[in-house]
Amino acid sequence: MRQFLSVHDVDDVQALVAEAREHKAAPFAFEDLGRRRTMGLVFFNASLRTRLSTQRAAQNLGMQVIVLNTGQDAWQLEFSDGTVMDGGSAEHIREAAGVLGEYCDIIGVRAFPSLKDRTADEREEVIGNIVRFSGRPVVSLESATRHPLQSLADCMTIEELRTVPRPKVVLTWAPHPRALPQAVPNSFVEWMRKSDVDLVVTHPEGYELPPRFMEDTPVEYDQAAAFAGAHFVYAKNWSSYERYGDILRSDAEWMVTAEKMAATDSGKFMHCLPVRRNVVVDDAVLDSPSSVVLQQAGNRIWSTQAVLKRMLEAL
């Protein structure tokens, strides 16, 4: 595997999930594979899970890991070509990415969208330039439009917990006080569409996800109807795609509650974390046995390990 930017970089999702489960069963089976290899993690935005799980995954494969937090530790970067750099930016992405390529065998990048300019966000300028100018394999640690490592861990968690051959999986919008990207739901839809599940997306009107991710995925505007008989409920907030980056509503009507979960078929509650308690989901759900959010977060290690193993083998 030369890069991991979306589900389109994976030929067989089920095989990759199976490999992730093998890593979970035997974390150090390939501890020499990454010996004398270096993974660089570049964060343009905050992270807990992605940062630590990727470090763990790389270390389990014997790699050394170096981390750059661009906000605090690095020079302000310029992305436009032909610019006279007499303003705040001290370094161009062409040199910065090239230098990362000198230091790292594999590069992970987290770069969120602006949520102001949809066309610019969809160009994926940050991660795209690092792919272009580093000359190294690149792993998305969440880009402007996708979070594939999260989605792979989500697939793995559903695979571990499924009780029926083809579970009903509901992706539900939930309220949040801040405007959040569409990356997690976009990606979740993309990966679920390659999985053996019946996916339903539920959200208030105005929160439609981009058609290129949704394709013919069913949308149910009645959250209660969507929850009926669900085996998995995946909650996530996202800002409007149509009125790009806007918050159209933030009332508690769409919060996931124990009463709503009672309509599911012993449904498991999923969320990528971090989650705002009693805004996105109430304590009664999050603290109940139906919540699998910690298992999901734990699986970030093994799913990332499966990806990095394939990338190391392709070096």
Min. distance of Cβ 293 from ligand CP in angstroms?
Answer: 10
Helix ranges (DSSP H) in the chain: 13-25, 49-60, 70-73, 93-103, 118-122, 125-134, 148-161, 183-192, 211-214, 223-227, 258-261, 283-286, 293-313
Task: Between 50 and 223, name the residue whose CB sits nearer to ligand CP.
Answer: 50
Name the closest residue to ligand CP (Cβ): 50
Partners of 270 in beta bridges = 234
CA distance 37 to 312: 9
Q: How far is CA 157 from CA 23, 59, 271, 294, in A?
A: 14, 22, 11, 10
Task: Between 152 and 197, name the residue whose CB sits nearer to ligand CP.
Answer: 152
Task: Between 66 and 248, name the residue whose CB sits nearer to ligand CP.
Answer: 66
Task: Between 177 and 274, name the residue whose CB sits nearer to ligand CP.
Answer: 274
Min. distance of Cβ 22 from ligand CP in angstroms?
Answer: 23
Helix (H) or strand (E) holding 201: strand 198-202
Task: Between 150 and 182, name the residue whose CB sits nearer to ligand CP.
Answer: 150
Binding site for ligand CP (CB under 6 A): 47-50, 142, 150, 272-274
- For 14, how many CA atoms within 13 A lie in the half-sphere containing its CB? 5
Contact indicator for 140, 109 with CB cutoff of 8 Å: yes
Task: Between 129 and 187, name the residue whose CB sits nearer to ligand CP.
Answer: 187
Min. distance of Cβ 150 from ligand CP in angstroms?
Answer: 5
Task: Between 168 and 296, name the residue whose CB sits nearer to ligand CP.
Answer: 296
In which region does residue 62 sit, left (phi positive, over 0), alpha (psi from -120 to 50) or beta (all else)?
left
CA distance 211 to 26: 39
CA distance 268 to 270: 6
Using only C-alpha atoms, what is the Rg of the chain?
20
